Structure 1
């Protein structure tokens, strides 16, 4: 409950900042096409030991290097982070490498606030509707916090910490020494085997198959430390409290908030011989971004006016700094307290919608 309260307060503060006096320039960072990754199937066994030396991993492509959470070039992460993914009929396999000269951790118990240490955070939304998704955190002690959210905190979703990943296999390998400031380390590797049956929640009962796509992001929490009396201590800010961590990630949200599932990347499950690794359709992705733009504007409108705009024309009057050139693609149905935005592509034979609780739906057209 404490975690939910902290997240909710942070989301409210961030949203107030995000939605103040919207312009095209301010919206641009959260309206970029998310990254994509093709997950190859493997028939080879993997030993979960935190290393990247199984033959199967040689066939998996590295992700792009992680970037600053807001996508700001001047805030390029000081250390490199990348990952690989594989799958078989039982598990999703994850290998992530964190380059780091000083590897440390303090938390050892399950379901603690692992993000208080340097940590990997992973988010997975199997059906891509922004609701019913998993959050997973792990530190260098391989301590884990796994939780389920039925919708994003911005929409009032609680963190269900009693939920656990049954059958999870995990390992951390450290090229260096843990909690030893007297030397320089190289990296720590995180390897996971996440049972696919884990993702049977929120009405999602199907296992992935070749061609399935999931929304997913992998992120890194990195805290500054000092060395005092032979030990690592979190660096303090001018207020005497530990400084805020740096956040980097694979698919950049464009805002300091990992809980924007529409900003996560798209992973596609493929067979082991797949060679075409690019699969996102540019027209479809741009249409989705148009929907999300009007979703953000509707939330801003309600924050200022106490109700949602009944028409796109009302939104246009309220946001003179935003282009509405794509509004002819969008249909809005709204009351004071609810709305649905809809768009479709005859060329792609697909329709998209997003409602006031950010639930995203895609449906093939006849």
Structure 2
């Protein structure tokens, strides 16, 4: 089977490498002890429908979503989550399974305070270069809302919809939420409003920066917890929307 390392080191395309070694990985442009994840190639791409019954997921390893970046201690009944990754030549696929006792989506305008509703956030740095991506496309930070829209900040410093980059569906199964996502991968040459942006063709051995997070709100004006897939040191643990060096 072909593989790439997603960093996630895939984290080789993320790394897409397809075997989880569970070892630390770091570069000068990244925080120390970043994780990496080897994502297997899907022989048949999964159907993005919120039902995790595709054979493509069978060989992908689960990874915990368990680093609390913001908010007080929380119980497993409030939130717990895990994810896995696979890929095809055309897309990166992410499967997330989590328990969240309350789902909140109170902001009708998808471009306003989207981070304060329950949302899944997927961070992607196509060339694993790290560095600042706050108002550029060195990396993307897709905020996926409960109505399956994908929002990030554009080069004009305004929130924009990038839903055309992402296919997103979730379903509730018992006490768990199953969320499937298919993502087109773009380089840092991406231009907002341009008609000629082309997604990358993925191949085995590609290394990408990757990180996953969940914004949890149980009824407050602002999010109550922010839980990520990577350890974040210091006081500003929620800096992934600015700094791709935090990614795996």
TM over 0.5: yes
Q: Would the aligned equivalents of 2:90 and 2:201 in 1 still touch at CA under 8 Å?
A: no
Paired with 2:81 and 2:46, the residues of 1 have a C-alpha distance of 22
Flag structure 2 segments of 5+ consecutive residues without an equivalent: 1-29, 191-197
Residue 98 in structure 1 maps to residue 85 in structure 2: no
Between 61-70 and 51-60, report the one with greater CA deviation: 61-70
The 5 A counterparts of 1:23-172 are: 32-69=32-69, 75=73, 78=76, 79-107=79-107, 110-129=110-129, 130=131, 131=133, 132-148=138-154, 159=157, 161-162=159-160, 164-166=162-164, 168-172=166-170
Higher helix proportion, which one? 1
Paired with 1:108 and 1:143, the residues of 2 have a C-alpha distance of 12
Which of 194, 208, 212 is matched with 1:214 structurally? 208
Offset, 1:256: 2.6
Q: Would the aligned equivalents of 1:65 and 1:250 in 2 still touch at CA under 8 Å?
A: yes
CA RMSD in angstroms, aligned pairs only: 2.9
Cα deviation 1:195-226 (Å, max 9, x = unaligned): 23xx133279864321111111111111233x
Offset, 1:93: 0.6
Between 103-112 and 41-50, report the one with greater CA deviation: 103-112
Q: Would the aligned equivalents of 1:112 and 1:145 in 2 still touch at CA under 8 Å?
A: no
Paired with 1:99 and 1:205, the residues of 2 have a C-alpha distance of 32
Which of 169, 183, 187 is matched with 1:194 structurally? 183
Paired with 1:206 and 1:193, the residues of 2 have a C-alpha distance of 13
Cα deviation 1:321-342 (Å, max 9, x = unaligned): xxxxxxxxxxxxxxxxxxxxxx
Residue 253 in structure 1 maps to residue 232 in structure 2: yes
Offset, 1:85: 0.7
Flag structure 1 segments of 5+ consecutive residues without an equivalent: 1-29, 150-157, 177-185, 226-233, 235-241, 266-366
Q: Would the aligned equivalents of 1:118 and 1:139 in 2 still touch at CA under 8 Å?
A: yes
Q: Would the aligned equivalents of 2:149 and 2:161 in 1 still touch at CA under 8 Å?
A: no
The number of residue pairs the alignment matches comes to 200
Larger Rg: 1
Q: Would the aligned equivalents of 2:213 and 2:228 in 1 still touch at CA under 8 Å?
A: yes
Could you say which residue in structure 2 is the equivalent of 1:173? 171
Could you say which residue in structure 1 is the equivalent of 2:18? none
Structure number with greater CO (CA < 8 Å, separation at least 6) is: 2
Secondary structure of the residue aligned to 2:148 is coil
Paired with 2:171 and 2:223, the residues of 1 have a C-alpha distance of 26
Cα deviation 1:217-245 (Å, max 9, x = unaligned): 111111233xxxxxxxx2xxxxxxx3552
